[in-house]
Chain A
Amino acid sequence: MTGEPLLRARDLVKEFPVAGTARLLLPAKKFTAVDAVSFDLYAGRTLALVGESGSGKSTTARLAARLIDVTSGTVHLDGRDITALRGRDLREVRRAVQMVFQDPFSSLNPRHTVERIVTAPLVYQKRPVPGGTRRFAQSLMERVGLEPEHVDRYPSQFSGGQAQRIGIARAIAIGPRVLVCDEAVSALDVSVQAQIINLLRGLQREEGFACLFIAHDLAVVRQIATSVAVMTAGRVVEAGDRDEVFDRPQHEYTRTLLAAVPRIRPEWEAARRRNARAYAEKETAR
């Protein structure tokens, strides 16, 4: 990859104290959740951090988004060291880096209308809302595939997939340069999941943001990522272009992970595609 990365993480380490191990005058034992993780994230590209539970992928995302502080290591945004920024400087980072979470309902305030939710990042940033909050909220709704008239509704009046669209609308409201999606499609039904993946791909094409996509589902990652980093036990064991990692996995763990994914039998899949084509031809012949 040529050019400067938009987001650069180097040797990220995050240790957490283990509950109940602190003694008088003795610090608690430490658990290393993220262990020397490095990656580069480029504009218009999607890097997927994949791994099983406890692999450290979500913690890594939170470190990169500056939601939690690193134990050691550095994060650069556009060449600027943002690892230890505080206050007003950190607020500037928030303008550039937005998050979409797994459970839309727990990440949307149930007492706020959609209009208030999706314009909140601008209000928080004390920025003027172009064209007024109503018009702005309506245009955002339209962009994520929701009815603009529903801006006065509350999160509970939407389905899970629609609520996730609201979460995405809020994330893109401020025109972020980096979008961090933490298992953003994991809780959704498969047909809704497909639509949200399409939405994210389309928005990225339009906006050109870089996307850090955290997921445990390798099939989803194959659909959305341009590059992949495989994590286990806090470390990246393999990283590379998506097709390289999927088609020619080098690390034993990656191979195990890929082999474990259940697949619809390939011969059934092939037959279904043949049949679908035959039906389509019959339709057009009619």
Chain B
Amino acid sequence: MSDTLLDVRELSVSFGDVRVVDRIGFDLPRGGALGIVGESGSGKSMTSLAVMGLLPAGATRSGGIVFDGVDLTTLTERRMRAIRGDRIAMVFQDPLSSLNPYYTVGTQIAEAYRSHRSGVGRRAARKAAIEAMERVHIREAGRRVDDYPHQFSGGMRQRVMIAMALITEPELIIADEPTTALDVTVQAQILDLLAEVRRDTGAALVLITHDLAVVSAVADRVVVMHRGRVVEAGAAEQIFSDPRHEYTRGLLDAVPRIDDEIGELRGTGGDR
């Protein structure tokens, strides 16, 4: 078994003539945590959608995405579906739009499980759903399993999404701005929860975010994207303590600090 879980090579995503992701590459060892960081329009979300095979209509993809030795770009949609949501799980920014308002959360978590575990009965799936909800620290999971998404707060809904993601014991969790819509105190709880899930299950994590502080708290490797390209990649410590690329330096300079006021904030000039 190779140590590399995910190896992305020369990945490009285009809409017609416009290339939004331009020959990027990165890899991730088993159990590792990679942060993909960039501003809006950097191509970071398109990268995650490309890895999962969920690009919007009209987008074309080229390059290789090797997951556990298998190039995902060569798979049929049917075989990709068997991997997605099972060995590769996803957590998105807005749990409310990823959950179906007409079904109880228990039904949806159980369905995520049953669709990848043939032969699991309704009762066993429901039991697994309650266990998953307990693992993400939703109190009174046995009762709340029958609640609908709107009966949960934003943070609790994100816990439901994480329960749904980890129920199949995935090797890779891709989280795209998982805490961006949340209040800061709730964000801290969800980041702790993601760390706990990784520790307990050994799952690798790809975290896509615009927030450098979040990346520094979670990731051990960092990829910095700008205008569809990887401008810099390396160990988190190197990126944050000794950034080599001008763009990374500007980005880090622009981050407002809570611990002190820095004179004139330096922007990277993306505005004008």
Interface residues of A (CB under 8 A from B): 52-53, 145-146, 159-162, 165, 189-198, 216-220, 222-223, 246, 256-269, 271-272, 275-276
Taking CB atoms, residues of chain B closer than 8 Å to A262 are 187-188, 191, 211, 213-214, 216-217
Known contacts: A161-B271, A216-B183, A223-B265. The answer to whether A272 contacts B242 by CB under 8 A is: yes
Chain B residue at smallest Cβ distance from A147: B272
Extra pairs beyond A222-B259, A223-B257, A246-B259 (11, CB < 8 Å):
A145-B272, A161-B272, A162-B271, A191-B270, A192-B267, A192-B270, A220-B256, A222-B261, A223-B256, A261-B258, A262-B191
> Complex formed: what's the CA distance from A165 to B271 in Å?
10
> Complex formed: what's the CA distance from A198 to B267 in Å?
9
Q: Say if the beta carbon of B82 comes within 8 Å of chain A.
A: no
> Complex formed: what's the CA distance from A244 to B14 in Å?
51
> Complex formed: what's the CA distance from A259 to B187 in Å?
12
Interface size on B, residues (CB 8 A): 43
CB <8 Å contact, B241 and A195: no
CB <8 Å contact, B212 and A190: yes
Q: Which of B142-150, B166-174, B196-204, B247-255 lines the interface with chain A?
A: B247-255
Chain A residue at smallest Cβ distance from B183: A52
Q: Which of B175-233 contact A (CB under 8 A)?
A: 183-185, 187-188, 191, 210-214, 216-217
Q: List 26 A-B contacts (CB under 8 A).
A: A146-B272, A160-B40, A161-B271, A189-B210, A190-B256, A191-B254, A191-B271, A192-B271, A194-B266, A216-B184, A218-B258, A222-B258, A222-B259, A260-B188, A261-B184, A262-B187, A262-B217, A264-B212, A264-B213, A265-B240, A266-B259, A268-B241, A269-B240, A271-B241, A272-B240, A272-B242
CB <8 Å contact, B243 and A272: yes
**Smallest beta-carbon distance A172→chain B, Å:** 18
Known contacts: A194-B265, A262-B214. The answer to whether A268 contacts B240 by CB under 8 A is: yes
**Smallest beta-carbon distance B111→chain A, Å:** 30
Taking CB atoms, residues of chain A closer than 8 Å to B16 are none
Q: Say if the beta carbon of B17 comes within 8 Å of chain A.
A: no
Q: Which label, helix, strand, loop or mixed, suits the secondary structure of the B interface? A: loop
**Smallest beta-carbon distance A58→chain B, Å:** 14
Q: Say if the beta carbon of B39 comes within 8 Å of chain A.
A: yes
Known contacts: A193-B256, A223-B256. The answer to whether A264 contacts B271 by CB under 8 A is: no
Taking CB atoms, residues of chain B closer than 8 Å to A146 are 272
CB <8 Å contact, B185 and A162: no
Chain A residue at smallest Cβ distance from B266: A194
Taking CB atoms, residues of chain B closer than 8 Å to A275 are 241-242
Known contacts: A161-B270, A189-B39, A191-B268. The answer to whether A256 contacts B185 by CB under 8 A is: yes
CB <8 Å contact, B271 and A263: no
CB <8 Å contact, A193 and B258: no
Known contacts: A262-B213, A263-B213. The answer to whether A272 contacts B252 by CB under 8 A is: yes
Chain B residue at smallest Cβ distance from A53: B183
One of A52, A198, A218, A263 near B264 (C-beta < 8 A) = A198
Chain A residue at smallest Cβ distance from B268: A191
Taking CB atoms, residues of chain A closer than 8 Å to B250 are 191
**Smallest beta-carbon distance A276→chain B, Å:** 7
Taking CB atoms, residues of chain B closer than 8 Å to A161 are 270-272
Q: Say if the beta carbon of B262 comes within 8 Å of chain A.
A: yes
**Smallest beta-carbon distance B217→chain A, Å:** 5
Known contacts: A191-B250, A222-B258, A271-B242. The answer to whether A159 contacts B271 by CB under 8 A is: yes
Taking CB atoms, residues of chain B closer than 8 Å to A162 are 271-272
> Complex formed: what's the CA distance from A257 to B264 in Å?
25
Taking CB atoms, residues of chain B closer than 8 Å to A223 are 256-257, 261-262, 265
Closest 6 CB pairs of A and B: A194-B265, A271-B241, A161-B271, A191-B268, A52-B183, A262-B213
Q: Say if the beta carbon of B269 comes within 8 Å of chain A.
A: yes
Taking CB atoms, residues of chain A closer than 8 Å to B269 are 191
Q: Say if the beta carbon of B237 comes within 8 Å of chain A.
A: yes
> Complex formed: what's the CA distance from A141 to B139 in Å?
54
Q: Say if the beta carbon of B140 comes within 8 Å of chain A.
A: no
Known contacts: A145-B272, A189-B270, A272-B252. The answer to whether A260 contacts B241 by CB under 8 A is: no
Taking CB atoms, residues of chain A closer than 8 Å to B256 are 190, 193-194, 197, 217, 219-220, 222-223
